[in-house]
Amino acid sequence: LTDISVTDPEKHPHLLSVKNCFIRGSIVRYVQLPADECDTVELQNASRKEATLGKQSAN
């Protein structure tokens, strides 16, 4: 993610200087993305592609 901001600076002051970051899948529940900036169709397509590749490599 690029150009991030902290919604609760009093609770997370250590994140105030962070502007770019990588989010692991296990942390996604803590991330809030504005709905108008999130392409859900693209996310669904990428998830399907990843799942298909995972199944192919498991065989």
The pLDDT value recorded for residue 56 is 82
The pLDDT value recorded for residue 19 is 92
Distance CA 25, CA 28 (A): 5
The pLDDT value recorded for residue 49 is 92
The pLDDT value recorded for residue 45 is 92
C-beta atoms surrounding 15 within 10 Å: 15
What is the band of 53 on the pLDDT scale with cuts at 50, 70, 90?
confident
The pLDDT value recorded for residue 31 is 77
pLDDT tens for residues 2-48? 888 898 999 999 989 999 988 877 767 777 778 888 888 998 999 99
